[in-house]
Structure 1
Amino acid sequence: MGRKYTIRDQEQFYFVTFTVVYWLDIFIREEYKSIFLESVKYCQKEKGLLVGGWCIMTSHIHLILGAKGDNKLEDIIRDLKSYTSRHIRKYLENNPQESRREWLLWLMKRAGTKKSNNKDFQFWQQHNHPIELSSNEIMQQRLDYIHNNPVEAHFVENPSDWIYSSASSYEGKKGLIKIYHLD
């Protein structure tokens, strides 16, 4: 990770994107979204993860993240990605109902063998490109971008209609995960 994309200030929130290798549409299935959301909830409860905004798309996830307590944000991100990678792989390997199982596993194993810091499997692309949200204006721009992603993809007409995002939480409704409101 270059200096431009480094978490320097543990007191700040950062915009990050987790992208599945080859932009594979993994998150079209509820099971995979649930694995990710459960991991986020665990990190919130046990590691001090603060989520200011989020949106799960089919092949990637946008987040605004911060940390409180002793754990560094980059360590929490590493653990979150590692956990979801292992558990989604396990689910893929053991779910005969997954019609794309062999193809997905083949692609992820192929991606894993191409990177020297992997053993034999890669689920996420390695970079997150954390962008420090140093002002309210930048934070609001990123939050709007995250919430409008499903609208731009023509999945929904209104951001709050996409249940796999924090948009409804900012309208006072209960979302799928606890939000640290940025406003």
Structure 2
Amino acid sequence: MNWQIYLFATILLTGLSVAFLRAPFVYVLILFSFTASGAYSFQAVERSEPQNSLKNLYKTGRLLSGDPIEIEGILASGPELTVGGLYLTVATYKVYQFGRGKTVNGVVRLFAPISNDRSKFEYEELGLASGTRVRIATALAREEKYLNPGSVSFFRMLDQKGIDATGTVKSPLLVEVLDRGTGFSPLRVVFS
């Protein structure tokens, strides 16, 4: 249904609830008003997703999960060390596929495995920090995988974290630093 119908129903039912405040059936009007309001809110969230968001590009099939791609964006935070590697969170604004660039918006979380001291040294040499503009070659994934019964959907988990896609950086050589963050950031001072 159209979001305008839900909005109209919410306004109408709320108005009727106020008009018939002392009537015994006012509780039913309030219940339907809240139901219409919830449906309108759901439609508003679905409608608010921009056409050029990474999530929408994967959902509509304009980008295919697992295809090689280059992303360009700004590190939303510094590298997060974890067992066996590090995580990079990139606020992406451009995607390159088959030599063509597309303007996009979305957040990508990449895992960069560190298997030896050499790769660790190469990542340190890149000087990755919050605010660094990077270009990374990877294969992004946004597809449903096998789920055990009762487990949470991969899509839902990503959406709750505000992440549009995930991927793996195979080598530090696939990360190109385009620009260092130049503005003053109090958080960068505190955490460096």
Normalising by structure 1, we get a TM-score of: 0.23
Q: Which has the higher contact order (CA 8 A, sep 6+)?
A: 1
Normalising by structure 2, we get a TM-score of: 0.22
Larger Rg: 2
